[in-house]
């Protein structure tokens, strides 16, 4: 099979399924041309000729990049993110840009300017978010893999909701250059796929140091796929009791318990631990993430990028009207929350306090990981919820992230692995590892496949 055939087939599949899932904001019309070029050049890289979808908050040179916001609805990047350049160098074909919650703020894709995406298992349900388009695209078979970003769970939660594998690497493992910033101390690009092997290949391809991102690590990038192995003997797994908290769907927990039993049978040891600060994780995250977002989003002023309000009388009105008309409600809520938390009178009580509690939490997690190889638990407290169920209740939506936020606050690698069904909907097991130990996560996920 040539890449051209494969890419044509992929575009047709996407075209046929878009009415159902709305997984893409933009399909790459040049994909077939790109594939012809790869065919002509011969197999050069690890992803030669393979179509991959890219979340639409990752810049693609000459291909519309919107972050699913009206304010960037006409934004054409003049360069590509490092991860996109790396995929291209490995021969991958950019299939198109996937839908997300506006600026990756949300857990359902319902805040997208382009409308919600739909869960691949039940189209009346959300696909999760913010990388919901990537999850729906992979789960319904449009592409074998997609890039997502994860600031507080945006790769793992939609992966769990759609029954696929999704990994958020260690903070610094992957360059953030050219990734539209939401919360810079938490954001990280990762991969979603049905098969663990495919995410392993893609992560090895996109990881590594980048001169454009001083937070990217110099650590050597392993060949995760070549190193895959299913041996769980001697692997020490910690299960934090707070991850089994009341209110979590009991059917979902049954699947998680059964999966952890499987690990025991495969030779792992499992022990209960405690992460007492987990109960504050959501508050800490929403203060820090919103503060960083309020600062990062200052650049959208109607002058430099994208949408510009019409009929304005002066520069102030240009700023105010462009932002008022260009941002959706959730983004405005975060900007106001963040601006407040950083303001002179509130900084000590909110931002500084949140940063202190974050440190406590980091210490708690590292103490556990000093003794264990993996932390395991559910990725989410529920399976995919109905479209419309939580969108008018921001606090319920925020609480939904309680189990995924810890790994971002501590910068740790974490994944969601398919772990059966509860009430007919997919369940995700979350695995968190030591910094830069993505391999142990891949292996443990592979052991279940
Ligand atoms: N749901 C979380 C939020 O809304 C996380 C989003 C993300 O990881 N990008 O902030």
pLDDT 10s digits, 103-148: 999 999 999 999 999 999 999 999 999 999 999 999 999 999 999 9
Beta-strand pair 24-27/93-98: antiparallel
SS3 at position 214? coil
**H or E element, residue 398:** helix 394-399
Quote the mean pLDDT of the chain: 97
pLDDT at 279: 93
Dist. CA 415–CA 153, nearest whole Å: 9
pLDDT at 247: 85
State the complex-level ipTM.
Answer: 0.97
At residue 282 the predicted structure's pLDDT band, cuts being 50, 70 and 90, is: very high
Q: Where are the domains of the chain?
A: 1-449
pLDDT at 56 exceeding the cut of 90: yes
pLDDT at 288: 98
**Which atom of ligand 1 sits closest to the CA of residue 106?**
4
Contact (CB, 8 A) for 242 and 275: yes
CATH number, domain 1-449, options 3.90.1300.10, 1.20.1250.20, 1.10.3210.10, 3.30.230.10:
3.90.1300.10
CB-ligand 1 contact for 106 (6 Å cutoff):
yes
pLDDT at 212: 98
Distance 178 CA to ligand 1 centre (A): 19
CB-ligand 1 contact for 104 (6 Å cutoff):
yes
pLDDT at 341: 97
Dist. CA 131–CA 134, nearest whole Å: 5
DSSP state string for 136-150: HHHHTTS-SEEEEE-
Pick from 242, 142, 249, 150: which is nearest to 191 by CA? 150
pLDDT at 400: 86
Contact (CB, 8 A) for 390 and 400: yes
**Which atom of ligand 1 sits closest to the CA of residue 400?**
1
Terminal alpha carbon distance of the chain: 26
Write the residue with the smallest CA distance to atom 5 of ligand 1: 152
Dist. CA 31–CA 37, nearest whole Å: 10
At residue 186 the predicted structure's pLDDT band, cuts being 50, 70 and 90, is: very high
Distance 401 CA to ligand 1 centre (A): 8
Beta-strand pair 269-273/236-240: parallel
Pick from 165, 150, 149: which is nearest to 442 by CA? 165
Token readout for 107 is 């857990």
Contact (CB, 8 A) for 439 and 314: no
For the annotated catalytic residues, the residue numbers are: 55, 130, 154
Burial of 374 (0-12, 13-18, 19+ CB in 10 A): buried
Helix boundaries (H) for 207-314: 250-265, 281-296
Our mutation pick for probing the ligand 1 site, out of 55, 57, 112, 129, counting the most ligand atoms within 8 A of Cβ, is: 129
Burial of 75 (0-12, 13-18, 19+ CB in 10 A): middle
Express each pLDDT in 329-341 by its tens digit. Answer: 999 999 999 999 9
Contact (CB, 8 A) for 84 and 107: no
Distance 220 CA to ligand 1 centre (A): 29
What is the percent of the chain with per-residue pLDDT over 70, rounded to a whole number?
100
Which residues make beta-bridge pairs with 168?
Answer: 414
SS3 at position 70? helix
C-alpha distances out from residue 250 to 166, 255, 419, Å: 23, 9, 14
At residue 380 the predicted structure's pLDDT band, cuts being 50, 70 and 90, is: very high
Query: Average pLDDT for residues 69-96, to the nearest whole number?
Result: 98
pLDDT at 120: 98
Query: Average pLDDT for residues 246-252, to the nearest whole number?
Result: 92
At residue 292 the predicted structure's pLDDT band, cuts being 50, 70 and 90, is: very high
At residue 396 the predicted structure's pLDDT band, cuts being 50, 70 and 90, is: confident
pLDDT at 73 exceeding the cut of 90: yes
SS (H, E, C) 91-129: CCEEEEEECCCHHHCCCCCCCCCCCCCCCCCCCCECCCC
**Which atom of ligand 1 sits closest to the CA of residue 285?**
10
CB-ligand 1 contact for 68 (6 Å cutoff):
no
At residue 304 the predicted structure's pLDDT band, cuts being 50, 70 and 90, is: confident
Lowest mean pLDDT among 32-36, 137-141, 392-396: 392-396
pLDDT at 306: 87
CB-ligand 1 contact for 408 (6 Å cutoff):
no
Query: Average pLDDT for residues 312-326, to the nearest whole number?
Result: 97
**Which atom of ligand 1 sits closest to the CA of residue 153?**
8
Token readout for 265 is 């049978």
pLDDT at 68 exceeding the cut of 90: yes
Query: Average pLDDT for residues 395-420, to the nearest whole number?
Result: 95
């Amino acid at each position: 099979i040539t890449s051209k055939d494969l890419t044509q087939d992929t575009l047709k599949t996407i075209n046929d399924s878009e009415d159902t899932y709305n997984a893409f904001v933009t399909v790459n019309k040049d994909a077939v041309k790109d594939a012809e070029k790869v065919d002509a050049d011969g197999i050069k890289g690890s992803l030669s000729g393979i179509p991959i979808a890219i979340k639409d908050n990752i810049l693609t040179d000459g291909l519309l990049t919107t972050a699913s916001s009206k304010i960037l609805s006409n934004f054409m990047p003049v360069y590509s993110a490092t991860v996109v350049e790396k995929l291209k160098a490995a021969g991958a074909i950019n299939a198109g840009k996937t839908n997300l919650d506006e600026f990756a703020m949300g857990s359902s894709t319902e805040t997208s300017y382009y409308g919600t995406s739909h869960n691949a298992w039940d189209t009346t349900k959300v696909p999760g978010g913010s990388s919901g388009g990537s999850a729906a695209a992979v789960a319904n078979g449009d592409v074998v893999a997609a890039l997502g970003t994860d600031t507080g769970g945006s790769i793992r939660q939609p992966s769990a909701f759609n029954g696929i594998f999704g990994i958020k690497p260690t903070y610094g493992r992957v360059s953030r250059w050219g990734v539209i910033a939401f919360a810079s101390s938490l954001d990280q690009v990762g991969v979603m796929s049905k098969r663990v092997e495919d995410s392993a290949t893609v992560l090895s391809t996109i990881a590594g140091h980048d001169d454009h991102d001083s937070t990217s690590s110099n650590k050597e990038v392993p060949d995760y796929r070549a190193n895959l192995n299913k041996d769980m003997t001697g692997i020490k797994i910690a299960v934090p009791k707070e991850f089994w908290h009341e209110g979590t769907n009991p059917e979902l927990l049954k699947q998680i318990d059964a999966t952890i039993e499987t690990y025991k049978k495969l030779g792992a040891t499992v022990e209960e631990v405690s992460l007492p600060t987990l109960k504050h994780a959501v508050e800490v995250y929403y203060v820090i993430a919103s503060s960083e977002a309020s600062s990062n989003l200052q650049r959208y002023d109607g002058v430099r990028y994208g949408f510009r309000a019409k009929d304005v009388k002066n520069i102030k009105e240009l700023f105010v009207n462009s932002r008022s008309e260009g941002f959706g409600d959730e983004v405005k809520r975060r900007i106001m929350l963040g601006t407040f938390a950083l303001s002179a009178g509130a900084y000590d009580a909110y931002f500084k306090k949140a940063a202190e509690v974050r440190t406590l939490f980091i210490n708690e997690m590292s103490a556990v990981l000093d003794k264990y190889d993996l932390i395991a638990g559910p990725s989410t407290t529920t399976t995919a919820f109905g479209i419309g169920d939580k969108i008018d209740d921001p606090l319920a939506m925020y609480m939904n992230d309680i189990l995924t936020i810890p790994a971002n606050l501590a910068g740790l690698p974490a994944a969601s692995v398919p772990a059966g069904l509860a009430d007919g909907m997919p369940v995700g097991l979350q695995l968190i590892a030591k910094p830069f130990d993505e391999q142990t996560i891949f292996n443990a996920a592979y052991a279940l496949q």
